[in-house]
Amino acid sequence: MARLRIALALAATLVLPGVVVGTAQAAPTTAAALPPGSPAAVNGQLRVCGVKLCNQHGKPIQLRGMSTHGIQWYSQCVKSASLDALAHDWKADVLRISMYIQEGGYETNPRKFTDLVHGYIEEATKRGMYALVDWHQLNPGDPNHNTSRAKTFFKEIANRHKNKTNIIYDIANEPNKVSWSRVKSYAEQVIPVIRAEDSDSLVLVGTHGWSTFGHSDGKDPQEVVRNKVAAQNVMYTFHFYAAEHGSDYLNVLSKVSDQVPVFVTEFGTQKADGDQGNDFTQSQKYIDLMNAKKISWVNWNFSDDERSGAVFKPGTCAGNSFTGTGRLKPAGVWVRDRIRTADDFPTS
């Protein structure tokens, strides 16, 4: 009750038109900005508990949601009508904001892309979703190429949003052609910058071999398990594309998720190019495993790109019709159903 009164008093002083602004003195809450009953309001501040993700009541939960496409290409798909559909029709718990660094992304205009991300975090918050901020490094694969950029970006993002309970930081999308020790070293430079601003939010760390714990590179996934990142409240990411990544990848996910906390921040029902035919049979095996173990997942991608992995038919984002299945490709129909499945969020 006392907490509620403080939250309401703070909300009254902090709410500006459409934006919740934290101050240096503000107690860590912006809970009033989250719609009551929404996934982020019900679950609150997330914490790693053993190898699981737990909500504010200390109970293991699974979050499900969608990733944007690269926001340098498909920001037109991230607008009021599409986000309303994602939150209320798809009933997503999490929006992954995919900000590429290269390929016309952050490095070309840090101010513009940082501001875009700030805006999307507010939009996710208004709709009661977790905002997963994805530092989408990809090529070059060594995240150390972008360390100073990452520090600048995450310092500002964490400073602005530290009082929110619905922010998740992913510091490296898919390290590749790089050793685990180099990724770990990068993580141990960037995480303290985030922690200096925001001491308690969840941080996700990509793994080598395009976030497969090295498996795509023929490395032993136990390397990560034996040599964990020196930080608290951290999860490791695993990615798969079901039409290409069969039972060996599934077995890796199954094994490592019993050993360290794992978050599937990206997967597709196609091949790794995000295109061609869907393998819904293999995809369902992953879904079943992730449900059974309460592994949170995010699907690629919430756009109208022509590839099969983009959920909307080309041209959809020019309009304002995003609800239902009429505008969806087969992968979209399939994954919407799996996101809409009732959540199991303990409330005490």
Catalytic residues, by residue number, are: 174, 266
Residue 274 engages ligand IDC in binding (rule: CB under 6 A): yes
29, 166, 173, 207: which one binds ligand IDC (CB under 6 A):
173
Among the listed ranges 104-112, 123-131, 226-234, 268-276, the one in contact with ligand IDC (CB under 6 A) is 268-276
Of 168, 201, 187, give the one whose Cα is nearest residue 298.
Answer: 168
CB of 118 to ligand IDC, least distance (A): 22
Does 332 participate in binding ligand IDC (rule CB under 6 A)? no
- The verdict on 103 binding ligand IDC (CB under 6 A) reads yes
Comparison of 128 and 309: residue with beta carbon closer to ligand IDC: 309
Our finding on whether 133 is near ligand IDC (CB under 6 A) is no
User: Left, alpha or beta for 209 (phi > 0: left; psi -120 to 50: alpha)?
Assistant: left
Contact status, residue 98 vs residue 68, Cβ threshold 8 Å: yes
Q: Which of 123, 170, 198, 266 binds ligand IDC (CB under 6 A)?
A: 266
Go through 234-249 and write b for each residue having 16 or more CB atoms within 10 A of its CB, e for each that does not: bbbbbbbbbbbbeeeb
Distance CA 190, CA 86 (A): 31
End-to-end CA distance of the chain: 15
Which residues make Cβ contacts (< 8 Å) with residue 342, sequence separation at least 6? none
Instruction: Give residues 33-92 in contact with ligand IDC (rule: CB under 6 A).
Output: none
Q: Of residues 93, 122, 170, 174, which one binds ligand IDC by CB under 6 A?
A: 174
H or E stretch covering 157: helix 147-161
Q: Least distance from C-beta 344 to ligand IDC, angstroms?
A: 28
Q: Which is nearer to ligand IDC, 160 or 239 (CB)?
A: 239
Q: Which residue is nearest to ligand IDC (CB)?
A: 274
In the bound complex, what is the minimum distance in angstroms from residue 173's beta carbon to ligand IDC?
5
Using CA atoms, how far apart are residues 216 and 234, in angstroms rounded to an integer? 22
Nearest residue (CB) to ligand IDC, 60 versus 140: 140
Tokens standing for residue 58: 């200390």
Q: Which of residues 212-241 bind ligand IDC (CB under 6 A)?
A: 239, 241
> Shortest approach of ligand IDC to residue 321 CB, angstroms?
23
At a CB cut-off of 8 Å and minimum separation 6, what does 214 contact? 180, 207, 208, 220, 221, 223, 224
Locus of tokens 């907490």 = 3
φ, ψ for residue 202, nearest 5 deg = -70, 135
Q: How far is the CB of 137 from ligand IDC (least distance, A)?
A: 9
Q: How far is the CB of 92 from ligand IDC (least distance, A)?
A: 19
Q: What are phi and psi of 189, to 5 degrees?
A: -90, -35
**300 near ligand IDC (CB under 6 A):** yes
CB of 305 to ligand IDC, least distance (A): 6
273 interacts with ligand IDC by CB under 6 A:
yes
Place of tokens 């944007």: 68
Could you give phi then psi for residue 35, rounded to 5 degrees?
A: -60, 130
Kindly list the residues in this chain that would bind ligand IDC in the complex (CB under 6 A).
103, 138, 173-174, 210, 239, 241, 266, 272-274, 300, 307
